[in-house]
Structure 1
Amino acid sequence: MKRFIASVITTLAATATALTAVATTPAPTTTHRTVTVAASRPHASPLLDGSENRTFRTGRRLVALTFNAAWNTDGIGTVLAVLRQHHAPATFFLTGDFAERHPAAARSLAAAGHGIGNHSFSHPHFGELTPRERAAEVLSADRAIRAATGTAPLPFFRFPYGDTTPRQIAEVNALGFADIEFTTDTNGYLGPQGGMTVERTVRRVTDALRPGAIIQMHVGAPEGRHTVLDARALPAVLDALRSRGYGVADLARVMGGHADRPGPRASIRSGRRSRLSGPYGLVGPYGRRSGPSGQP
């Protein structure tokens, strides 16, 4: 808590200009570059402003895999190994608190070439915070993620609990971030205690399959738990996607988050692998489309 309070104090001055701009105009696209946290951080495409972005636009059978990281690291090793084995790209949304508690794990995600997004600092309900407190959560997390990973994260933000409103999205856009939500959550984070199994986790993915779907999973388990169903289910999820003719897209490329970083690339053509590509990843045009809200 002391760590977060100190981070908030150093953030308030940097956010005052952006919050003033958001408060005086309802149009986020005119203010989305008001605050620059660091000169090297890329800004999200303005085409993504004003939207929850629960899917990406594509005419091909592609989905994006995303993982939230706010709890422990119990599933990270398995998730990274499976993604590497299948040549599949993913995007990881980290809280700043997670990055500070687990810097080695955060670095391993970035070092593997996957995208890193922002999931707030302490994972609060944003509707219960003031605009300044919300901005502090976003920017404090950005700093913590940079320090832990040693790289500039993507200009992508995901609200805790899927707690979004047009005003809150406008505030995030004003800070230079696009709101990237999800088409479906696997609910694997509920674990066996919540009635979930590997089979049910996979079924939630296949039931939501559509071109441009964004799948939300988690790399850890809530406090006191250690079973990470999403990690256990990931091989079956990838097999299910492939059997249905779906590939996995790099979210940074299809959503326009042009970070200067290498990333896993692949092709689903005939399922043939080459030295530089595997069966799952693919690059496509970016776009936006809103969808129904889901689990946090």
Structure 2
Amino acid sequence: MVVLLLLVAHGLWYGAVLPVAHSFPLFGVRRVLTTEPLVALTFDDGPQSPYTEQVLQVLDRFGVKATFFEIGQQIDREPALARSVVQRGHELGNHSYSHRNLILRWPGEIAAEILETDRRLRAAGAEGPIALRPPLGKRWFGLPYWLWRSGRTLAMWEVDSGDYDPANSVTDLVQGVLQRVRPGSIVLFHDGSFKTRQPRDRTVAALGEIIPTLQARGYRLVTLGELLRSGNPSGGGPWESPPLEPGPNPAKP
């Protein structure tokens, strides 16, 4: 009963969540409906040494631009690394300040997590709209409404690389991504590991195979912002193109 009352109060606070639950922000952008051979590579949980720099070196080698969804506390640890991402032509996104689950949070809590990180991203050089990718991909109740009211893009993904799971080998990562990518895909990788400090060397190695293979297939790898401008965002709702089926050992963002 207490939980039910809290849920009702939470919904009333947001001005009725249920209608919003059927709006676009609930699903977020999983892919873009486009006829162009474009794919967006995205990286979560950074910046973190040495892996963010290693990812940047691979991207530089192949002339690729990507989007990095960074955690505010990680930026506090390595602000110069966050600036380096921008200086090398990449895009920054918001992955919250402390990587807390934002489900059933009050407006002030949600705003603090997002706006504190925004300030750090701007200080690192981020320009233009800043998309948000929620911690753990959790986005129910208050968060979609807050994003809708603030005009923010909720950035999800269609293709999960699986790099979060140590059971996946480099070969698993490469094959999983290459088998599922299509024009307009948003691909999830990680260049950091906020709590466990898990190594990302498999991600770096897999990128060295994935990127040239996609380029050989005629794909151009772009930032999320450029991909969004190329067509119509799709959230994978029941009336839209559904996301592809996850591969073995699906990752957590």
Shorter-chain TM-score range: 0.7 to 0.9
Letter of the 1:242 counterpart: Q
Change (3 A) 1:21 1:108: farther
Distance 1:58 1:22 in 2: 38
Check conservation: 2:39, 2:227, Cα contact below 8 A: no
Identify which of 102, 112, 122 aligns with 1:126. 102
Change (3 A) 1:221 1:289: closer
The aligned counterpart of 1:107 is: 83
- Secondary structure of the equivalent of 1:157? coil
Select 1:206's aligned residue among 178, 186, 193: 178
Structure 2 unaligned residues grouped into runs of 5+: 1-9, 237-241
Distance in 1 between residues matched to 2:45 and 2:90, nearest whole Å: 13
2:14 corresponds to which residue? 23
TM-score by length of structure 1 reads 0.69
1:60 match: 36
Deviation of 1:48 (Å): 6.7
The equivalent of 2:3 in structure 1 is none
Alignment of 1:41-120 (within 5 A): 49=25, 51-70=27-46, 72-120=48-96
Matches within 5 A, 1:246-285: 246-256=219-229, 284-285=230-231
Q: SS of the counterpart of 1:116? A: strand
CA distance in 1, matches of 2:126, 2:181: 32
Q: CA deviation at 1:286?
A: 4.5
Quote the offset at 1:70 in angstroms: 3.8
Contact 1:88 1:248 (C-alpha < 8 Å) held by counterparts = yes
Q: Which amino acid aligns with 2:83?
A: R
Instruction: Give 3-state SS (helix, strand or coil) of 2:204's partner.
Output: helix
Name the structure 2 match of 1:171.
Answer: 146
Structure-1 separation of matches of 2:212 and 2:47: 27
Equivalent residues of 1:220, 1:228 under 8 A apart: no
Q: Could you tell me which residue of structure 2 aligns to residue 276 of structure 1? A: none
1:45-78 deviations in Å (ceiling 9; x for gaps): xx97554100012013321110113473221222
C-alpha distance in 2 between matches for 1:252 and 1:21: 34
CA distance in 2, matches of 1:241, 1:220: 23
Following superposition, the deviation at residue 107 of structure 1 comes to 0.3
Aligned partners of 1:150, 1:20: CA distance in 2, in Å? 36
* 1:179-258 mapped onto 2 (5 Å cutoff): 179-190=154-165, 194-221=166-193, 223-256=196-229
- The change in CA–CA distance for 1:20 and 1:127 in structure 2 (over 3 A counts) is closer
CA distance 1:73–1:21, change in 2 (3 Å)? farther
Which amino acid letter does the alignment assign opposite residue 183 of structure 1? E
Please report the TM-score for the alignment, with normalisation by the length of structure 2: 0.79
Residue 153 of structure 1 and its aligned partner are, at CA, apart by: 5.9
**Which SS does the other structure have where 1:255 is aligned?**
helix
Shift of 1:80: 1.1
Q: Is the 8 A contact 2:34 2:183 kept in 1?
A: yes
CA shift, 1:230, in A, is: 1.1
Are the counterparts in 2 of residues 64 and 90 from structure 1 also a CA contact under 8 Å?
yes
Structure 1: tracts of 5 or more residues without a match: 1-18, 29-46, 257-283
Distance 2:72 2:186 in 1: 22
Q: How high is the sequence identity, in percent, across the aligned residues?
A: 29
Q: Indicate if the aligned counterparts of 1:66 and 1:92 stay in contact, CA closer than 8 A.
A: yes
Q: Once the 2 structures are TM-superposed, how far is the Cα of residue 172 of structure 1 from its aligned partner? A: 1.7
Quote the Cα distance in structure 1 between the aligned partners of 2:139 and 2:11: 20
**Equivalent residues of 1:254, 1:286 under 8 A apart:** no
Counterparts of 1:110 and 1:237, CA distance in 2: 23
User: Number of residues paired by the alignment?
Assistant: 229
